[in-house]
Structure 1
Amino acid sequence: MKRIISIILVAVIIFVPISTSNSSDMDAKGSPLILTIDLDDMITAGTAARIERGVQEAEERDATALVLLLDTPGGLVDSTLKIISDLSASNVPIITYVTPQGAIAASAGSFILLGGHITAMSPGTTTGAAMPVTITPGEEETQTADDKTILFLAGHIRSIAETNGRPGDIAERFVTENLTISSLEALELGVADYIEPNLVSLLGTIHGQEIQFQGKTIMMDTEDAVIESIEPDLTEKITHLISNPQITFILLMVGVYGIIFGVNNPGTFVPEVLGAISLILALFGLGMFEVNLFAVIMIFLGMGLLVAEALTPTYGVLGTGGVVSVVLGIIYLPVEPLVTSRWLIQFRLMAIGIGAVGSIFLVILLAGLVRLRKTPVYMGENEFLNELGITMENLDPQGLVRVKGELWKAQTRSESFVPAGTHIRVLERHQMVLIVEPVDKE
């Protein structure tokens, strides 16, 4: 009887989870699956990596659609083009949706919006403003990019729009005229297919709608869909962080100053390790967006001058030149036409702020060097001069004495005998031997 009961319990323990799992799988398979990705920040290489993974996951799990929830001011050109390429090659319908109310899909965001097979916007949202911009030396504000860049991006966004049945002329005006349109205007012009307040409402509206996808007509099945969000993994978070030009340059400066501090204070290890890691991450980040070669040269020149100032102090001459070179390099380094003018202006202010911090650091470093040069040498032949101690054993003629808590070999100048326990004064030091003389206990 005990054996039969044991067999029944084992069977129940094994069967119940399996049956529950099978039941869950059947429920999941019975409802359409919708995967979503939030794009609520700058478009970076980390964003592109997450969308690539999202498309693959949607295909593997046979999702009904992949929804990109847009609220972005723009981003990096290469990352945007990579995203458009992944969306175009997707075997799962892509829905691009500007949400929540008040959100924007500006600059690079408008490219991604037009890359969807179904486009939608929440009330009160806007899109457009994709005219490429750049920072020009000698100008206070941002400037329009060169004609070659404008023509390329205008032609590309027109191609994206027309491929997905959108008005190519309106899309082209996003780039050539910096056109910005509201959700209502987007619906009237055919840029957006729907205006819906939230995702659930949108999925209910498009259920049963037919769309052209991969050369064929398919019917959308989105009623009572299971909605799952694809969150960024650790690698994508790190990539997103360091491919942001602002973060990259902060890491660059932390790396430079960490190494400089480490050179001036050998043996601490923490600044050198932190600086080396930051510098490697910064160099990795620099490879993820377009840069100006002249600016790169200026930054590395500035780094060289700062290191030279630390190794061979010139009381600020090399250091000042280094700070100026780094600041100028940072200001003109990013060549990213699909970020907003506001972002570029903020970037310029950040560069000036880094220069100010660098100048303060340089002043502190120079002040410390000046004080250091005025401080008398403490270690060396005069380290124990006139210090008092006591003999730990007989000096006959040499023996051990204790000075400042340390044991040293010592003798008198005349090499005379001094008994243990005698108080002594240090007269000088010859390498590792102290020359001492007996003194009264008082």
Structure 2
Amino acid sequence: MRSVRISIYSIFLLAAFLLLLFPPAAQSDGEGKLVYYIPVEQTVERGLLAFMERSFEAAAEEGADHIVLEVDTPGGFVDAAGRIASLMNNTDIPITAFVVNEALSAGAYISLIADNIVMMPGTDMGSAAVIDGAGNAAEEKSQSVWLARMQDAAEKNDRDPKYALAMADNSISLPEYRAGEGELLTFNAREALEADYAEAIVNNREELLEFLELEGAIEREMEVSFAEQIARIVTHPVVVPILLSIGSLGLVLELYSPGFGIPGFMGTGALLLYFFGHTVAGFAGWETYILFGIGIILVVIEILVPGFGIFGILGIGAIIASLVLGSYSTANIMVSILIAAVVTIVAVILLFKYAGYRGPMKRVILSDSTNTEKGYISNVTRNELLGVSGEALTVLRPSGTALIEDERLDVVSEGGYIEQGRKVKVISTAGSRIVVREVSDNG
């Protein structure tokens, strides 16, 4: 029994000695965990929102443990930023905003919504005032809403809201951070860390994972697809009116060109780009294509079978409805349609004036004229009657009837009153107009 105990103790001491000599490898806290990198680049708009929705959905399906937003944006549109913020708030996956270059305007707001902010050296965050399409400060109501959002985003993660407000309101003075009266606050990486607007400054992803205690994690990087890149361009509020102008102008020019040529391809291509981009971005469905196709058919019917304009009105209405249905903003698309309409009307006026009618429009527009050169004569000028005498069959006051060379003709006196039965002589003819003068029996 004693020998058995000695053996057990010997084995235990040997195992302890071996553990001291060869300790087990330490396992990283991030081992086996999944980190999703999602780029937040270029302008913040609805195309970026669609990409981020797909990325968040993929991260949730794969069971990601952490999402890293690699932020490099000069800002963008408030509505898109608000929807991205809602997307971030509605996920249970921890989110870190990793500022790799600049996080300005809407980019600063998105970063503040994240659970952590980590910045690379030499990066900036701030300058988040709301501006309109002309680059001017937005109206007071919009400013007030945006300031409230910036404050809420800061307070969400226990950050001092005065800095977030100073980023969006140039009336708040913070001279210690180069934000005097009339200037917006922009933090560099060191200043953000000092003001607790960043949790760390790192040089690369490896250091970021180390800070997040996710060393050894599986890394997955989302990439913007080619279709999404197109969608991000063509859904931009500045690009939409350009596309619609090219589309409407190209199709109108095609009506004045024989065959189907460059204008038709340009117009069709521009409209297809509009619908394709908005479909990829999740705004347009098949119903918009069907409605647009019906509109085109009705307009063609109106052109080829002229009626009372019913088909044309219904067709234009269907086309406008399809554009509005496929857009993310009714106000924006209506402004874009108005711009395209003005451009098209001006072009049509110029075409009427300088180019004339060609192509399919030539079939429905009467361009021929009846003139003397083509043999059309409305009234024959009776030059053979000049100097011929006759008799007034009726009183001429100054018009009436005269008998000239045994032919009753409607005549008009030179200006005076001529009694019935007096002798007259033709002094001029012009078409159906025959002018006579009273003459004496001797003359």
> Which segments of 5 or more consecutive residues in structure 2 lack a partner in the other structure?
1-29, 171-183, 279-322, 360-367, 369-443
- Greater CA radius of gyration, 1 or 2? 2
User: Do the aligned residues in 2 keep the contact of 1:249 with 1:282 (CA within 8 Å)?
Assistant: no
1:252 to 235, 244, 250: 244
Deviation at 1:260, TM superposition (A): 3.2
Report what 1:199 is aligned to.
205
Does residue 152 of structure 1 match 2:158? Answer: no
Q: Classify 1:106/1:143 alpha carbon distance in 2 versus 1 (closer, same or farther; 3 Å).
A: same
User: Over the residues paired in the alignment, what is the CA RMSD in angstroms?
Assistant: 2.8
Report what 2:341 is aligned to.
300
Query: 1:171-190 deviations in whole A, cap 9, x for unaligned?
Result: 12211122211111111111
Q: Classify 1:230/1:195 alpha carbon distance in 2 versus 1 (closer, same or farther; 3 Å).
A: same
Alignment of 1:228-239 (within 5 A): 228-239=220-231
Comparing 296-305 and 41-50, the one that deviates more: 296-305
State how far apart, in whole Å, the 2-side matches of 1:247 and 1:166 are: 37
State how far apart, in whole Å, the 1-side matches of 2:115 and 2:223 are: 22
User: Do the aligned residues in 1 keep the contact of 2:242 with 2:340 (CA within 8 Å)?
Assistant: no
User: Do the aligned residues in 1 keep the contact of 2:45 with 2:76 (CA within 8 Å)?
Assistant: yes
Alignment of 1:34-183 (within 5 A): 34-99=35-100, 103-134=101-132, 142-177=135-170, 178-183=184-189
Give the letter for the 2:158 counterpart. Answer: G
State how far apart, in whole Å, the 1-side matches of 2:274 and 2:130 are: 25
> Which segments of 5 or more consecutive residues in structure 1 lack a partner in the other structure?
1-28, 137-141, 208-221, 316-364, 370-376, 378-442
Q: Classify 1:261/1:292 alpha carbon distance in 2 versus 1 (closer, same or farther; 3 Å).
A: closer
State how far apart, in whole Å, the 1-side matches of 2:76 and 2:58 are: 24
Query: 1:208-241 deviations in whole A, cap 9, x for unaligned?
Result: xxxxxxxxxxxxxx11112111112354233212
Report what 1:241 is aligned to.
233
Q: Classify 1:171/1:184 alpha carbon distance in 2 versus 1 (closer, same or farther; 3 Å).
A: same
User: Do the aligned residues in 1 keep the contact of 2:245 with 2:340 (CA within 8 Å)?
Assistant: no
Q: Aligned with 2:76: secondary structure?
A: coil
Report what 1:411 is aligned to.
none
Count of residues in Structure 1 that have an aligned counterpart in Structure 2: 268
Q: Aligned with 1:72: secondary structure?
A: strand
Give the letter for the 2:138 counterpart. Answer: A
Give the letter for the 2:203 counterpart. Answer: P
TM-score by length of 2: 0.55
User: Do the aligned residues in 1 keep the contact of 2:245 with 2:343 (CA within 8 Å)?
Assistant: no
Query: 1:103-141 deviations in whole A, cap 9, x for unaligned?
Result: 1111110011101111111111111111112256xxxxx
Q: Classify 1:132/1:264 alpha carbon distance in 2 versus 1 (closer, same or farther; 3 Å).
A: same
Deviation at 1:266, TM superposition (A): 3.2
State how far apart, in whole Å, the 1-side matches of 2:44 and 2:67 are: 18
State how far apart, in whole Å, the 2-side matches of 1:109 and 1:32 are: 27
Report what 1:14 is aligned to.
none
Q: Aligned with 2:75: secondary structure?
A: coil
Q: Aligned with 2:121: secondary structure?
A: coil
Alignment of 1:408-427 (within 5 A): none
Query: 1:349-400 deviations in whole A, cap 9, x for unaligned?
Result: xxxxxxxxxxxxxxxx69x99xxxxxxx9xxxxxxxxxxxxxxxxxxxxxxx
Alignment of 1:7-22 (within 5 A): none
Task: State the structure with bigger RCO (CA 8 A, min sep 6), 1 or 2.
Answer: 1
